[in-house]
């Protein structure tokens, strides 16, 4: 669980985050949505410990980040997995090498132990025959699965995903959504996803935070988002003609 208490973050005169408070539960897919410039990326970096809030606190399973020593902060970061927007795989490393990288950096496991763990997570993301292939030799969807395998290879308590569906076709995006959701529930991880994909909102949005101009404008579930009367939320969610039609159908059925 991650609890956020009234955090603010500014860069010079630019007040990016303005008193955000919320809670992200274990075993659920928690989504952060909002327009470009709403503060989503800065918020995610604060949760990762890359930015320290100017005011307010972030609590990880009962531990306030601001109260931790430098060593305790390093240990906490090793409990975090990250799936980057562009996958961020090392081009010169094989799939196997990319997934093993965190184990090489942060553990004293034997090569055999590391190999067993890599084999396990690659099998979990349905990549059983890609060990020796380079990132350039696999599809974008497969690269995302490698990135997820690397993010969970250290068995993290927290999983952060920055636009995990970016650049993927709709069918592959749904597969990635379902994989993240399954892993979250299976390993009881606190998962936070920064996204603008409305399919993700509808499919796996167990908890949704909507940011606007640095404020938490709304929070709820993927079911509740269709019922809200918050104009800023509905303008964002139903910005396309397709979703406007979906909403109208929902309203007609409800009436």
How far is it, in rounded angstroms, from Cα 203 to Cα 182?
12
How far is it, in rounded angstroms, from Cα 59 to Cα 47?
9
Q: Does 165 lie in the same domain as 75? A: yes
pLDDT at position 235 is: 83
Determine, yes or no, domain membership for 70: yes
Q: Taking each helix axis from N to C terminus, what angle separates 140-152 and 95-106, rounded to the nearest 10 degrees? A: 20
Q: Does 18 lie in the same domain as 62? A: yes
pLDDT at position 128 is: 87
Tell the burial category of 189 from Cβ atoms under 10 Å away from its Cβ (0-12, 13-18, 19+).
buried
**How does 130-162 read in b/e, with b if 16+ C-beta sit within 10 Å?**
bbeebbeebebbbbbbbbbbbbbbbebbbbbbb
Q: 82 pairs with which residues across the strands?
A: 160
Q: What is the mean pLDDT of each run of 10 residues along the chain (255 residues)?
A: 96 94 95 91 93 94 91 92 90 96 94 95 91 94 94 95 88 91 94 90 91 94 86 81 65 64
Which residue among 137, 155, 173 closes a domain?
A: 155
- Are 159 and 183 in contact by the 8 Å Cβ rule? The answer is yes
Determine, yes or no, domain membership for 103: yes
pLDDT at position 215 is: 94
Report pLDDT digits (tens) over 107-164: 999 999 999 999 999 999 999 889 999 999 999 999 999 999 999 999 999 999 999 9
How far is it, in rounded angstroms, from Cα 5 to Cα 189?
21
> What ranges in 16-110 are assigned the alpha helix state H?
40-48, 70-77, 95-106
Q: Does 145 lie in the same domain as 164? A: no
Determine, yes or no, domain membership for 255: no
Q: Does 57 lie in the same domain as 171? A: yes
How far is it, in rounded angstroms, from Cα 184 to Cα 49?
21
How far is it, in rounded angstroms, from Cα 34 to Cα 199?
14
pLDDT at position 242 is: 63
Q: Does 72 lie in the same domain as 2? A: yes
Q: Does 24 lie in the same domain as 150? A: no
Q: Does 218 lie in the same domain as 163? A: yes
pLDDT at position 111 is: 95
Which residue among 139, 155, 171 closes a domain?
A: 155
Q: Does 55 lie in the same domain as 169? A: yes
pLDDT at position 64 is: 92
Determine, yes or no, domain membership for 188: yes
Q: Does 217 lie in the same domain as 146? A: no
Determine, yes or no, domain membership for 105: yes
Q: Does 182 lie in the same domain as 74? A: yes
Terminal Cα-to-Cα distance of the chain (whole angstroms): 38
* Residue 102 structural domain: 92-155
How far is it, in rounded angstroms, from Cα 238 to Cα 247?
8
How far is it, in rounded angstroms, from Cα 1 to Cα 108?
28
Which residue among 127, 155, 183 closes a domain?
A: 155
Q: What is the CATH number of the domain that holds 176?
A: 3.40.50.300
Tell if the pTM clears 0.85, that is, is over it: yes
Domains contained in the chain, number: 2
Determine, yes or no, domain membership for 75: yes
Determine, yes or no, domain membership for 243: no
Determine, yes or no, domain membership for 235: no
Q: 55 pairs with which residues across the strands?
A: 8
Residue owning tokens 């936070």: 192
Q: Does 205 lie in the same domain as 147? A: no
Q: Does 10 lie in the same domain as 55? A: yes
**Could you tell me how many helices (H) and strands (E) the chain has, helices first?**
9, 10
């Amino acid at each position: 669980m991650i609890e956020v208490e009234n955090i603010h973050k500014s860069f010079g005169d630019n007040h990016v985050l303005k008193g955000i408070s919320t809670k992200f539960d274990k075993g659920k897919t928690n989504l952060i949505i909002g327009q470009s410039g709403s503060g989503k990326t800065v918020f995610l970096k604060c949760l990762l410990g890359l930015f320290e809030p100017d005011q307010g606190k972030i609590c990880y399973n009962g531990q306030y980040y601001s109260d931790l020593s430098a060593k305790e902060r390093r240990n906490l970061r090793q409990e975090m997995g990250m799936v980057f927007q562009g996958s961020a795989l090392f081009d010169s490393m094989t799939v196997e090498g990319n997934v093993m990288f965190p184990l090489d950096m942060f553990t004293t496991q034997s090569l055999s132990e590391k190999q067993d763990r890599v084999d396990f997570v690659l099998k979990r993301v349905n990549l059983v025959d890609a060990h020796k292939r380079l990132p350039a030799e696999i599809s974008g969807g497969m690269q995302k699965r490698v990135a997820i395998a690397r993010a969970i290879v250290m068995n993290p308590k927290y999983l952060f995903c920055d636009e995990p569906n970016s650049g993927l076709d709709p069918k592959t995006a749904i597969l990635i959504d379902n994989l993240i959701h399954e892993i979250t529930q299976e390993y009881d991880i606190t998962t936070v996803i920064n996204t603008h994909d409305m399919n993700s909102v509808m499919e796996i949005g167990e908890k949704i935070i909507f940011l606007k101009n640095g404020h938490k404008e709304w929070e709820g579930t993927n079911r509740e988002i269709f019922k809200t009367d918050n104009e800023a939320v509905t303008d964002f969610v139903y910005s396309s003609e397709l979703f406007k039609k979906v909403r109208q159908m929902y309203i007609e059925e409800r009436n």
